[in-house]
Chain A
Amino acid sequence: MTKKKTLTILVNILFIFLALIIFLPMAWMLVNSLKTNQELFRNSLALPAVPQFINWVNAWNKGLYKYFGNSLIVSGCSLAGILILSSLLAYGLTRFNAKGSNVIFLIVLGGMALSEQVALVPLYKILKAIHVYNTYFAVILPYIAFRIPFTVFLMRSYFIAIPKELEEAAVVDGYNSLQIFQKIIVPISKPIFASCAIVCLNHVWNEFLFANVFLESKELMTIPIGLMTFKGDLRADYTVMLAGIIIASLPMIVLFLCMSKQFVRGLTAGAVKG
C-alpha cells in the first residue's frame, strides 16, 4: 500500500508539472493583458501596477462579440448537419443489408483522405456559381461535407454492433424504419454522437482556411478570422490584442469546465459492452 502511495504522489507530481506547462503561457498572457504597453515592454514577467481592464473593454468593442456569434451559428449548424446526415447515412449502410452498401461506404470513406486544401480553389468557384459565397452557407456546406466521411466511419462501426433483436422487437410494435432510427438507434448511440460531436466541433470551431477564403464581409467572420484582424500591419497595441485572445477563448473554456461532468459522462454512459 505504501508503494501505491508513493506512486500516486509521483504520478501527481507529473500531472501538476504538465498542468503548469499548460497554464504558464495562459497565465502570462492574462497578466500582460492587464498591463499598459509600456509595462509590457519594461518587463513582461512583472505584475501590472494598476490592472488595465480597459484593454478588455477595447478588445470587446472591436467586434469580438460579433465574431463569437458567427462562430456559434456556423458551428451549431454545421454540427447539426454533420450529425444528422452522417447518422442517417451510417444507418442506411448498416441496418438494411442494402446491396452495394460496401461500395458506398468505401466511396464515402475515401473522402476522408481528401484534404480541404485540395478542394479549396474549385470549391471557391462552385460556391460562387451557386451564389452562396460570402454567406454562412459558404462555410457550413463544406464543413458538413468534409466531416461526413470521418463521422460515418466512426458511427458505422458503432451501429454495426447494435444487436438486431432490439429492432426486431420494435418492428413487432409496428415501428417504421424512421421511428426505429429515432427511438432505438439514436438513444442507444449517444456516446458515439458525443464522441463525433467533440471531434467535429473541435474542427469546425477552429477552421481557418475555408472561413478565410469563403467569407468576405466582416459581418460574417468567425473567431479564427476575426482574431487575425487584430494583428494589424503596423499597429502596436499588444495588450489589447492579448485581451482579445483571452476574451475569444474564455467562453468555450468556461462552458467546458461547467459541463465537463455531463460531457464525459455522456461520452461513456450507455456504451455497449465489449
Chain B
Amino acid sequence: MKTRKSTPYLYMLPGCLMVLFFVYIPVIANCVYSFFRLSSYSADMKFVGFDNYVRFFTNDTFWIMIRNNVLYCVISLIVQVGFGTVIALLLESSVAGRFRNVFRNIYYIPALISLTAVGLMFTYVYEPNLGLLNSALKALGLSGWTQAWLGDSKLAIYCIIAMSQWQFTGYITLLMVVAFQNVPNDYIEAAAIDGAGPVRRAVSIILPLAKEQFLVCTIITVIGAFKLFTEVYSTTAGGPGNSSQVLGLFLYQNAFLHDDLGMAAATGVFIFVITMVLSIIQLRVSRSGEV
C-alpha cells in the first residue's frame, strides 16, 4: 500500500495522547505524591519519604482490605466467570429449549441498573427490620435465620459480594453467549458426527474457540475486584467497624475525608502494582497476550 510513513502514527496519535495525558501522567504524578504529605485545599507539600507507605502497610485495616478484595476476586471468578460460563453453555446447548433468549435477556437486566441503584436497593433488601431477606425468612417461619446482614461484621462483605454476583453474572453470561455463537457450527457438527457428547463438545471444541472472550471476562473481573469501590461506598461504607473495608474505598476516604492525599496516593500505587502484576500474569498465561 502506498502510504506516507507518518500515516499510521497519525491514526495512533489522538488515542495515544489521551492515554498519555489522562492515564499515564496522573498515575506518574500519583507515584510522586505518595512520597509527600499534602491536602487538597492546601498548595504546599512536604516530602516525607516512605512514611505514607509505612503507615499504609502497618495500618490495622491493611490485611482486612487484602482479605476482602481477594475474597471478592475469588468468589467473582467462581460465580461470575465460572458459573456464568456454564449458564452460557447451557443457554447455547441443544437442551436449552425455546425460551433461551428470554432467559439470557433476563439475566442481563441487573447489569443495566446502575451500581448505586443496586447498592441502595440492596441496603433495603438487607435491612434487618423491614428488608426483603428478613421479612421473607420470618414469613417462611425461619425467624431463627434472620441476620443483621450488612450490620454483622462477619457477614457484611459477603452480602456485598453476593450483591455483585446478582448483578454481573448475567453480564458475563451474555459476553460468553456472544462468543459461543461465533463458534462455527460446522466444527460442532463435525464433532457430533465423530460421536462427541455434549460435554465433550463443550470442553474440547466450544470453550477453546471462545478462549479469548473467556480471558477478557477474567481480566475484567480480576481488575474490577481490586478497583472495587462503589458497591461498598453505597452500602456499608466499610462498616461495621472496618469489616468491609476495601482498597478503593480506603484510598477515597484518605483523599477526601482525611485530607491525606499522600496516603491515598500510596494506596493507589499499591492497587496499581497488584492490578499490573495480575494482568501480566493473565496475559502470559494466555497466548493472545503475545505481541
| Alpha-carbon distance A257/B105, docked complex (angstroms) | 7
Complex partner residue of A113 from B91, B131, B276, CB under 8 angstroms: B276
- Mark out the residues of chain B between 166 and 186 whose CB falls within 8 Å of any chain A CB in the assembled complex: 166, 170-171, 174-175, 177-178, 181-182, 184
**Mask: chain A, 77-121; 1 = CB below 8 Å from B; 0 = not:** 000000001101101110110100110111110111111111111
| Alpha-carbon distance A262/B11, docked complex (angstroms) | 30
B188 interface residue per 8 A CB criterion: no
- Mark out the residues of chain A between 255 and 274 whose CB falls within 8 Å of any chain B CB in the assembled complex: 256-257, 260-261, 264, 267-268, 271, 273-274
User: Assuming the A-B contacts A8-B95, A89-B15, A102-B291, are A22 and B110 also in contact, with contact meaning beta carbons closer than 8 angstroms in the complex?
Assistant: yes
B12 interface residue per 8 A CB criterion: yes
Shortest A31–chain B CB gap in Å is 10
**Mask: chain B, 19-39; 1 = CB below 8 Å from A; 0 = not:** 101111111011001000000
Q: Is the CB of A238 within 8 A of B96?
A: no
Nearest-CB residue, chain A, relative to B269: A118
Shortest A132–chain B CB gap in Å is 11
Interface size counted on chain B using CB atoms at 8 A: 104
Q: Is the CB of A121 within 8 A of B19?
A: no
Q: Is the CB of B120 within 8 A of A273?
A: no
B279 interface residue per 8 A CB criterion: yes
Q: Is the CB of B106 within 8 A of A120?
A: no
| Alpha-carbon distance A245/B125, docked complex (angstroms) | 13
Q: Is the CB of A209 within 8 A of B95?
A: no
The interface residues of chain B lying within 8 Å CB-to-CB of A95 are 8
- Mark out the residues of chain A between 118 and 175 whose CB falls within 8 Å of any chain B CB in the assembled complex: 118-126, 141-142, 144-146, 148-149, 152, 154, 157, 167-168, 171
The interface residues of chain A lying within 8 Å CB-to-CB of B288 are 157
A218 interface residue per 8 A CB criterion: no
Q: Is the CB of A88 within 8 A of B14?
A: yes
Interface size counted on chain A using CB atoms at 8 A: 107
The interface residues of chain B lying within 8 Å CB-to-CB of A44 are 130-132, 135
Q: Is the CB of B7 within 8 A of A177?
A: yes
| Alpha-carbon distance A242/B129, docked complex (angstroms) | 16
The interface residues of chain B lying within 8 Å CB-to-CB of A267 are 178, 181
Q: Is the CB of A145 within 8 A of B255?
A: no
B158 interface residue per 8 A CB criterion: no
A57 interface residue per 8 A CB criterion: no
The interface residues of chain A lying within 8 Å CB-to-CB of B67 are none
Q: Is the CB of A146 within 8 A of B181?
A: no
User: Assuming the A-B contacts A22-B170, A44-B131, A157-B212, are A146 and B23 also in contact, with contact meaning beta carbons closer than 8 angstroms in the complex?
Assistant: yes
Shortest B117–chain A CB gap in Å is 5
Nearest-CB residue, chain B, relative to A103: B291
Shortest B88–chain A CB gap in Å is 12
| Alpha-carbon distance A107/B248, docked complex (angstroms) | 24
A49 interface residue per 8 A CB criterion: no
Q: Is the CB of A29 within 8 A of B19?
A: no
The interface residues of chain B lying within 8 Å CB-to-CB of A202 are 111, 171
User: Assuming the A-B contacts A202-B171, A227-B120, are A141 and B22 also in contact, with contact meaning beta carbons closer than 8 angstroms in the complex?
Assistant: yes
Q: Is the CB of A86 within 8 A of B15?
A: yes
The interface residues of chain B lying within 8 Å CB-to-CB of A53 are none
Q: Is the CB of A114 within 8 A of B27?
A: yes
B18 interface residue per 8 A CB criterion: yes
Complex partner residue of B113 from A11, A85, A230, A253, CB under 8 angstroms: A253
| Alpha-carbon distance A12/B108, docked complex (angstroms) | 17
| Alpha-carbon distance A31/B233, docked complex (angstroms) | 26
- Mark out the residues of chain B between 105 and 161 whose CB falls within 8 Å of any chain A CB in the assembled complex: 105-117, 120-122, 124-125, 129-132, 135-136, 139
B214 interface residue per 8 A CB criterion: no
| Alpha-carbon distance A148/B12, docked complex (angstroms) | 11
B62 interface residue per 8 A CB criterion: no
The interface residues of chain A lying within 8 Å CB-to-CB of B14 are 85, 88-89
A15 interface residue per 8 A CB criterion: yes
Nearest-CB residue, chain A, relative to B226: A115
Shortest B291–chain A CB gap in Å is 5
User: Assuming the A-B contacts A145-B23, A231-B120, are A40 and B130 also in contact, with contact meaning beta carbons closer than 8 angstroms in the complex?
Assistant: yes
- Residue among A110, A116, A117, A202 with most chain B CB within 10 A: A117
**Mask: chain B, 250-281; 1 = CB below 8 Å from A; 0 = not:** 01100110000100110111011001101110
B interface residues, Cβ below 8 angstroms from A: 1-3, 7-12, 14-16, 18-19, 21-27, 29-30, 33, 40, 87, 90-91, 93-97, 99, 101, 103-117, 120-122, 124-125, 129-132, 135-136, 139, 166, 170-171, 174-175, 177-178, 181-182, 184, 212, 216, 219-220, 223, 226-227, 229-230, 233-234, 247-248, 251-252, 255-256, 261, 264-265, 267-269, 271-272, 275-276, 278-280, 288, 291
* 22 A-B pairs in the complex with CB atoms less than 8 angstroms apart: A12-B97, A14-B90, A15-B90, A29-B124, A107-B16, A113-B279, A114-B24, A115-B223, A115-B227, A115-B272, A118-B271, A119-B26, A141-B18, A149-B19, A167-B1, A198-B174, A208-B115, A209-B230, A223-B116, A252-B113, A256-B109, A274-B184
